[in-house]
Amino acid sequence: MIKTELNSVSAVRKTLRVEVPNEIAQQARAAAIQALQQKAKLPGFRDGKIPLNIIEQKFAHEIDHETIDQIVDLTLAKAFETAKVHPISRPELTPGMWSPAGDYNYTVAFDVLPEIKLKDYKGLKLTKEEVE
């Protein structure tokens, strides 16, 4: 289960910190490695047949980047739903540091509609002006 923490920057600007459990992060990492293994090309290996340990050594940066993308894709909508917010702008992602051993955290900043509170408008007296 993902954990969320909503902070208000202003009346319309919010930040949401999302903590993703290690199990989800590991699944995303495995999927990223598998996808990269299928399309990676290295001399001496047939396409799609490079051993996983070599993929992890040679393409560590790409794997981390793809892992973060997959984690955000899998969890962002659920995080908005959990925090009960409805962004009206594209979220600005601030990725956390990826560590295979622990949970993964990231933060998104976004705009929401301002909260409008109606005052008691019933019973107000209006005057009608005559038009000449």
Determine what percent of the chain is predicted with pLDDT higher than 90: 44
What tens digit of pLDDT does each residue of 33-90 get? 888 888 888 888 888 788 888 888 888 899 989 999 999 999 999 999 999 999 999 9
Q: DSSP for the chain?
A: --EEEEEESSSSEEEEEEEE-HHHHHHHHHHHHHHHHHH---TTS-TT---HHHHHHHTHHHHHHHHHHHHHHHHHHHHHHHHT---SS--EEEE----TTS-EEEEEEEE-PPP------TT----PPPP-
Spell 1-10 as b/e; 16+ CB within 10 A means b.
ebebeeeeee
- Of the two residues 121 and 61, the one the predictor is more confident about is 61
Per-residue pLDDT at 123: 80
pTM of the model: 0.77
